[in-house]
Amino acid sequence: MSALMLDKKNAVIYGGGGAIGGAIARVFAREGARVFLAGRTQSKLDAVASDIAAVGGAVETAQVDVLDPQAVNAHADAVATTAGNFDIAVNAVSIMHDQGKVLAELSLEEFIHPIDDFLKASFITSQAVARHMGGDRPGVIISLSEPGAKLTVGGILGHGVSAAGKEAFSRLLAAELAPRNIRVVDIRPHAVTDAPEADSYTQELFKPFAESGGQTVRQFLDDGMAQATLLKRLPTLSDVAETAAFLASDRAGAITGTVVNLTGGAIAD
């Protein structure tokens, strides 16, 4: 028996060129999965694919807009034709959204943007892959939310509601897909402390909060957010990726319809 957790499994990762999606892809490949990376920016996908190929991993890339149902369905059908089935799908898509504005300052468009796009991405990608999952081979759909789903702080209305929506979507989808032998699990990491400094998503997301306190984003993460956790540290890319690999494996075969908390104790449940 292979010691690799994901040996001979086929995994599609939406947002596979991002910091978290790329980290998950590298660990999945290390654990024996054939990885299909999908995202908007080909150069980022190619960089992750190059890392995987350099150590002998099996990887393919495709430029796909996850908010385009036709494009996502066409890609899913093509991968299923090539690979025969999906075993794992990960939604690691990042969508920039406003933070730092309270109700009186927030426009309806700013509020609704993350809710609309994050939930559209969850629906479109899940519907596309679920058609090619389950039955005799267990399937797993993994999504990522944020601690905003549970936080009671100001300035994150759109962010918090979108995170709560993603978690509710995963929980309800788990009930629908369980009879088809498909598990659905959500991972709730905190801000990832070792995302590359050049990661514009991380920089832009926390910039308003950092600047309001006269800090850099790095200072805000290390001295502010990390110290508010029980462990006094934020999760790393490795923490998230290794957890995703376990949840995607048969070792986690009884886990579905739940949220896995990677907030370092910042959120209690």
More confident residue, 45 or 220: 45
Cα angle 28, 62, 113 (rounded to 5 degrees) comes to 90
Integer Cα distance of 181 and 137 in angstroms: 8
Mutual angle of helices 237-248 and 19-30, in 10-degree steps: 50
Q: In angstroms, what CA-CA distances link 118 with 67, 76, 94, 140, 169?
A: 9, 19, 8, 19, 11
Structure tokens, 143: 């999504």
Q: Are 198 and 258 in contact (CB under 8 A)?
A: no
Average pLDDT on 121-126 reads: 98
Average pLDDT on 222-248 reads: 92
Average pLDDT on 26-49 reads: 97
Structure pTM? Answer: 0.92
Average model confidence (pLDDT) for the chain? 91
List pLDDT tens digits, range 185-194: 999 998 887 7
The model's confidence at residue 236, banded by pLDDT at 50, 70 and 90, is very high
Average pLDDT on 13-24 reads: 95
Per-residue pLDDT for 87 more than 90? yes
List pLDDT tens digits, range 40-74: 999 999 999 999 999 999 999 999 999 999 999 99
CATH class of 10-192+236-262: alpha beta
Residue 97: predicted pLDDT: 66
- Per-domain residue ranges of the chain: 10-192+236-262
Contacts of residue 42, defined as CB under 8 A and 6 or more positions apart, other chains included, come to: 61, 63
Residue 197: predicted pLDDT: 53
Average pLDDT on 151-174 reads: 92
Backbone dihedral angles phi then psi of residue 3, each to the nearest 5 degrees: -85, -5
Contacts of residue 109, defined as CB under 8 A and 6 or more positions apart, other chains included, come to: none
The model's confidence at residue 269, banded by pLDDT at 50, 70 and 90, is confident
The model's confidence at residue 201, banded by pLDDT at 50, 70 and 90, is low
